[in-house]
Chains A and B, each alone.
Chain A
Amino acid sequence: MVNTAFSDFIVSATDLRKNQKRWFEAASRRPITINYGQQRLVLINREEIHNLYVEKHYAELILRVCEEFAKEQKSNTFPWVEYLDDEDRKEFHRELLTCAIKSIITSDWTQLEYLIEDWKATAETEHSPEIVKALQDEGISPEYVTLE
């Protein structure tokens, strides 16, 4: 048995068969690599691997956005960004990075999803002069009626 840099245990298929309960219980806490002929297979907690996939998905997405932003390219990742003005585009980029770092630390990606949805809705709203005008309109009381 070798303890690796990735904190997994490496066991043979024979050892796994002989001590199934032990290794299954250990697998809920850390990955178990099984040597099976020439292959190396892994037993891993499903939630952990799910988080890794989600992290990979968002890491790729954010790197693409960063590259587009750095090159001042039109965004293919979030095409709606073009409806935002320069100031809001920079704000979106700052918030995206801050939120992504928090999500990596907490493994909670909900806030990042909300952030992207909110900025998308903002950009789409910004794309309609009629709606923007209505939202900027400060007048409140006289022209409002109670909805029954």
Chain B
Amino acid sequence: MKEFPQSMSPSNDDYRIEIKRRLLKKWQSLEDETPEAMQKCKEFLVKTPEDRLRSGGKLKKLKGKHTGILQYDITDEARVWYIVDRKQRIVWIKFVGHHP
């Protein structure tokens, strides 16, 4: 059975993370490069993907024609863009990559 850090103990309120298949490789390479930051990011997405106060300033809520899309700053360079389905408790990752 997969082990979680205590703060990451799975609960019924957790969000499921869905990612585009073609982004998996990028996600995994970021996990290799910055394991701690990626762990924090994953924990945030699973537990409180819309909570600005718990993001430590890393969460941005896009505006204008991108309203509804959230951006989490994994590191100074890397970002993840996603939308949240509160009803089904799913985080849909639309893009992960480096800062434009």
Contacts and interface: CB of A to CB of B under 8 A. Distances in A.
Interface residues of A, number: 30
Interface residues of B, number: 29
Interface of B: 2, 16-22, 24, 27, 42, 52, 60-66, 69, 71, 81, 92-95, 97, 99-100
A146 interface: yes
Nearest to B22: A143
Given A121-B71, A122-B66, A125-B71, A145 B24 contact: yes
Contacts of B42: 147
Given A88-B65, A145-B19, A121 B60 contact: yes
Interface of A: 84, 87-88, 91-92, 95, 114, 117-122, 124-128, 130-131, 134-135, 137, 140, 143-148
A88 B63 contact: yes
